[in-house]
Structure 1
């Protein structure tokens, strides 16, 4: 489900030629409060879909510019922020976290101020925006990915923007800075939401295509441990599926196994051997 938009900033509130004496720098992050209303623990996944800059600009990408912090009722824990490969229509970065039953957490997408020289730049220009999607991902059990629930899961959501204005004489000042904090509109229009669980599926793994037809080289795209087809565009999804199926050893046993898997995924394709 879509949650809201997001925007990260590390830049002056007014760009040059505005007088830098009055154009303070703002550091702005995205904060999501999420409560698991169910009676059991769940693993959630956030997807950050980033607007693609044109032309390419490293200051408009989450890679190297941001990190994710997670907190329930203690110190912040840093979560992995991973790019989706191969890239869908727009750059997508994901993070996962386990939220116990009836617990509330704060998940924060923040600018990485430890980037060398960032706060020393006269006119920093980190500006990254996009939208956020929440999923209840299927989890690996053996060789399958299985749904975490058979029904939608209830959550409470509250997205916010929080920012701090840094004075130009930062090194000479104390820690009392002006701040901003305002809520963002939820895509659903309400705080109480239900997240549909991802359906289980059979992941595309290197072992699945270890035996390939001699006249077809293995695909580079299947080298990662798993490809989540649900994150790809329809065209990319079809290409990955078609190329992978084309590399399966065409024995009757293998084709029957693949056909059964496709049937479970409700994909109307049946594979049968063809005499050449």
Structure 2
């Protein structure tokens, strides 16, 4: 399962306004005015450059702090319309979540993982959010053709004003690309169709071994099915 990049979700003030020691009151007041809150999300553009539709699975892993469904929302944009949904917990591992996406041949998709500002505590500042982790990508189905994908991960953030009720609220935005695990944008997912038996000489079959990718994916799917059956 190829790694894509890291990710970081944020709903945090950009500067501390407490425990400022012996700073003069006017300095504390100025810091309080500029201590805007940043809301940052993870954006992943995936281009399917093959001539067949791609069924893909993203896996998000975050341990400290843990990724969770209460504070996050996921958006899929394939046909120019935003589809809101949630990550799917990996059975038996609450710190890992998956998200499936289908991309037509020679088309692109945008997957976005964001802090859920419908959680009032995040929006009002009663709670800070900082979740860091990493993303990997694989096939959503065992059988199928090989895929060649171009992936572009990035962070995008918005700086919220200290007082949103101001007559002229001060909003700013930031966006920056993230390095990929491979150092490039191209991700190849090999075909998982078992290749035919090749014979080098009559009567002497040369069996081509299953790839590690096939075995790993099959083991993962079996583990998920076992966990789901155990919870029934």
The TM-score normalised by the length of structure 2 is 0.75
Higher RCO (C-alpha 8 Å, min separation 6): 2
Q: Is the 8 A contact 1:40 1:100 kept in 2?
A: yes
Give the whole-Å Cα distance in 2 for the aligned partners of 1:194 and 1:2.
Answer: 11
Q: CA deviation at 1:11?
A: 0.8
Equivalent residue in structure 2 for 1:167, among 161, 166, 169: 161
Q: CA separation in 1, counterparts of 2:227 and 2:49? A: 42
SS at match of 2:32: coil
How big is each residue's C-alpha offset from its partner over 1:207-235, in whole Å with a ceiling of 9 and x where there is no partner? Answer: x9xxxxxxxxxx9863357xxxxxxxxxx
Q: CA deviation at 1:80?
A: 3.2
Q: Tell which deviates more after alignment, 94-103 or 16-25.
A: 16-25
CA RMSD across the alignment: 2.6
Cα displacement (A) at 1:125 = 1.1
C-alpha separation between the residues in 2 aligned to 1:148 and 1:80?
Answer: 26
Q: Which sections of structure 1, spanning at least 5 residues, go unmatched?
A: 54-59, 139-145, 209-218, 226-276
Question: Counterpart in 1 of 2:135?
Answer: 132
Deviation at 1:119, TM superposition (A): 1.7
- The structure 2 residue matched to 1:223, chosen from 223, 226, 230, is 230
How many angstroms apart in 2 are the aligned matches of 1:78 and 1:40?
Answer: 25
Of the three residues 175, 178, 182, the one matched with 2:176 is 182
Q: CA deviation at 1:174?
A: 5.6
Q: Output the CA distance in 2 between the equivalents of 1:9 and 1:75.
A: 25
Unaligned runs of 5+ in 2: 21-30, 193-212
Whether 1:25 and 2:37 are equivalent positions in the alignment is yes
Measured after TM superposition, the shift of residue 171 of structure 1 is: 2.4
What are the within-5 Å matches in structure 2 for residues 1-276 of structure 1?
Answer: 1-17=2-18, 19-53=31-65, 60-87=66-93, 91-121=95-125, 124-138=127-141, 146-149=142-145, 152-173=146-167, 177-196=171-190, 199=214, 201=218, 204=222, 222-224=229-231
Q: Residues 50 and 128 of structure 1 are in contact (CA less than 8 Å); yes or no, is this contact kept in structure 2? A: yes
**Following TM superposition, by how much is the alpha carbon of 1:52 offset from its aligned partner in structure 2, in angstroms?**
2.8
| Local SS of the residue matching 2:33 | coil
In the aligned structure 2, how far is the partner of 1:62 from the partner of 1:28? 16
Scaled by the length of structure 1, the TM-score of the pair is: 0.64
- Contact 1:204 1:222 survives alignment (8 Å): no
Where 1:20 maps in the other structure, the secondary structure is helix
Deviations 1:228-267 (A, max 9, x none): xxxxxxxxxxxxxxxxxxxxxxxxxxxxxxxxxxxxxxxx
Aligned residues of 2:122 and 2:129 also touching (Cα < 8 A): no
Give the Cα–Cα distance (whole angstroms) in 2 for the partners of residues 163 and 222 of structure 1: 40
* Deviation (angstroms), 1:16: 3.6
- Identify which range, 174-183 or 154-163, moves more after superposition: 174-183
Contact 1:3 1:187 in 2 (8 A): yes
1:170 aligned counterpart, secondary structure? coil
Q: 1:176 to 1:72 in 2, by over 3 A?
A: farther
Residues in 1 aligned to 2:133 and 2:147: alpha-carbon distance in whole angstroms = 25
**Separation in 2 of the partners of 1:220 and 1:83?**
11
